Amino acid sequence: MLNIVLFGPPGAGKGTQSKKIIQKYNLIHIATGDLFRLHLSNNTSLGIRAKEYMNKGNLVPDNIVINMVEDKINNSNNVEGFIFDGFPRTINQATALDKMLEIKNIPIKQMLALKVEEEELIRRIKNRAKTSGRLDDQSEEKINNRIQVYNNETKPVANYYKEHDKFSEINGIGGITEIFDELCSIIDNL
């Protein structure tokens, strides 16, 4: 079982690279941001609860995110592995994920972290805003808040995986194929 956490700040290219990785390795994509957006567009009670946090660029409370991920894992059968994209974003989420996977004896193999400087992130998100339709991409204030939230609450999650010897960092600046090839060369050696 190939379970991977694809990590990085907003705009690092996690979504783009995940799509390529799931195709090549036949993995299930668990992207919590996408799942929340789906709930939002379907107007579910979960979507309504998540909305106020998402639109400000703040994190949705851990218990809501963790339950949603657990459901998704439990409803996926006969899988070759999962790629987690945008999750875990707090240490609490990381320990909860470990517990969920431990019970099933399918631990995370590696965190792959995309490294991109802040200026480039802001440039990419502003560009994405033209087509994404995402409210949280639309204002500089919201973009900056998401980067702040990443620095304060999410970055420490990398240390958690470093401490468990499950951390690799990749340069997230360059061509999509070039970055993908680098990710694959790490995955192939796991």
Q: Show the binding pattern over residues 45-64: x = contacts ligand AMP (CB under 6 A), - = does not.
A: --------xx--xxxx----
Owner of token pair 């790629």: 83
Closer residue to ligand AMP in complex, CB, 136/182: 136
Contact status: 87 vs ligand AMP (CB under 6 A): yes
The CB density around residue 6, as the number of other CB atoms within 10 Å, is 25
Q: Show the binding pattern over residues 88-127: x = contacts ligand AMP (CB under 6 A), - = does not.
A: -x---x----------------------------------
Provide the 3-class DSSP secondary structure of residue 179: helix
Phi/psi for 46 (5° steps) reads -65, -45
Q: Cβ-count burial of 26 within 10 angstroms (0-12 exposed, 13-18 middle, 19+ buried)?
A: exposed
Taking the C-alpha atoms of residue 68 and residue 1, their distance in angstroms, rounded to an integer, is 21
Among 3, 5, 8, 10, binds ligand AMP (CB under 6 A): 10
Contact status: 72 vs ligand AMP (CB under 6 A): no
| Residues within the interface to ligand AMP (CB under 6 A) | 10, 32-33, 36, 53-54, 57-60, 65, 86-87, 89, 93, 136, 146
